[in-house]
Structure 1
């Protein structure tokens, strides 16, 4: 009887430890998902548009330099 009780207590302790070990990981994953969804997703379109404008301006300036050099 003592052996069966010890095994049951061990299983209960391991189960409880497993729950407490997984709980913080799940909590961090949920918080990270919400943070990324609400925070970074709003900033990305603005950043993307700014980078596109920088690329367009750089291309336009380079094109105008090439055109002015070819006209000389």
Structure 2
């Protein structure tokens, strides 16, 4: 069984967006930055747990880049 089949849906997209944001921002405190990033993404999601994880990750990435 490949690792891809064991990976939760949307995890790859989430990690890609988080990595891109960290590379663009170059924070001194990476864990703190990622914690804040995910917290803001959860607020962006607005409590709608049924929204597609990939869609939320990429839409948040687009909005985050505009700040």
TM-score, scaled to structure 2: 0.29
TM-score, scaled to structure 1: 0.28
